[in-house]
Amino acid sequence: MKYLALISALAAVIAVVACAQKPSDPNVESFKAKGGTVDIACINHGSISISYKDYLIQIDPVKADEYEASPKADVILITHEHGDHYNKDVIASLSKDDTRVIANGKVHDMLGYGEVMANGDRTEAGKGIVIEATPAYNTTEGREQFHPKGNGNGYLFTVGGLRVFVSGDSEDIEEYAQLKDIDVAFLSANQPYTMTVEQCIHAAKVINPKVLVPYHLGNTDMQAIKDGLEGTGIEVRLHETLR
């Protein structure tokens, strides 16, 4: 009996240790903020979420199977109307009665409800979160038709003092020089539709975030972005889920 008791005790200890050492989700980036932790999930391509004090923001949710276990969102933000950023059925599945759906004008017209944010607009959400809409557009000759100036949005979030910038579909634009004190930046790099590797590196140097997460990647060589920012003091974190 003593041996059985000892074995049971050892098994319990092993179980506790194993539980304590269980790794966290490698595709969730966590950051300290005032009063809590900001968790940013790198879901797929251009889809990410921000969670703070049980308040959930979904950005460009598209693939239904990625959200089967997800709780309903408090806010859903859509950058623009392209199919890899906008899916009305997924928006509906993630919505509850008081979910705020915020988008650019074209998505609002296609969806038939929600709130419109244009470049430069600002709104407040729950838990003291501030959301600002930023420009997102192409500048290279021959690419302007992909994302015309004034249509799509990027979004800047201030969450518990943490400033998180999500570029949306954009090239390296002059307005990035106006972004200040950015803690985390998600910059799209998927030529010819968004930034080239070189543009992403330059944009990161202009914005100068503490942490850069390249996203919306497609076949982009994201390691080249990391290598190009070596020695700048910008920490680059790479996620294959964001291809």
pLDDT one-digit tens code per residue, 3-21: 444 444 444 433 333 333 3
**Residue 68: inside a domain:** yes
Does residue 206 sit in helix, strand or coil?
A: helix
C-alpha distances out from residue 169 to 52, 119, 129, 221, Å? 25, 13, 23, 17
Query: Of 219, 217, 209, which Cα lies nearest the Cα of 238?
Result: 217
- The answer to whether residue 3 sits within a structural domain is no
Using DSSP's 3-state secondary structure scheme, residue 225 falls into helix
Q: What is the pTM of this model?
A: 0.90
- The distance of Cα 23 from the centroid of its chain, to the nearest Å, equals 22
Contact 69, 56 (CB under 8 A): no
* Angle, vertex CA 18, rays to CA 27 and CA 236, nearest 5: 25
Task: Tell me whether residue 57 is in a domain.
Answer: yes
Question: Is 15 contained in some domain?
Answer: no
* pLDDT score of 19: 35
* 19 part of a folded domain: no
Asked if residue 83 lies in contact with residue 93, where contact means CB atoms within 8 angstroms, the answer is no
Sign of CA dihedral 36, 56, 151, 166: positive
- Whether the CB-CB separation of 70 and 64 falls below 8 Å is answered with no
Query: What pLDDT sits at residue 24?
Result: 76
Query: How many whole angstroms separate alpha carbon 24 and alpha carbon 22?
Result: 7
Q: What is the pLDDT of residue 77?
A: 99
Count structural domains, the chain. 1
Assign residue 227 the CATH number of its domain: 3.60.15.10
Q: Which pLDDT score, from 0 to 100, does residue 10 have? A: 40
Beta strand 55-59 with 47-52 is antiparallel
- Domain range for residue 232? 24-242
Whether 1 is in a domain gets the answer no
What tens digit of pLDDT does each residue of 178-200 get?
A: 999 999 999 999 999 999 999 99
Q: What was the pLDDT predicted at 23?
A: 47
Long-range pairs for 229-238 at CB < 8 Å and ≥24 separation? Answer: 229/201, 229/204, 229/205, 232/204, 232/205, 232/208, 234/204, 234/205, 234/208, 234/209, 234/210, 235/210, 235/211, 236/204, 236/211, 236/212, 237/29, 237/211, 237/212, 237/213, 238/213, 238/214
Asked if residue 10 is part of any domain, the answer here is no
E-state strands within 88-188: 100-103, 115-116, 122-124, 130-136, 152-159, 162-166, 184-188
- 198 domain residue, yes or no: yes
Averaged pLDDT, groups of 10, the chain, 243 residues long: 44 38 78 97 98 98 97 99 98 98 98 98 98 98 97 98 98 98 98 97 98 97 98 98 98
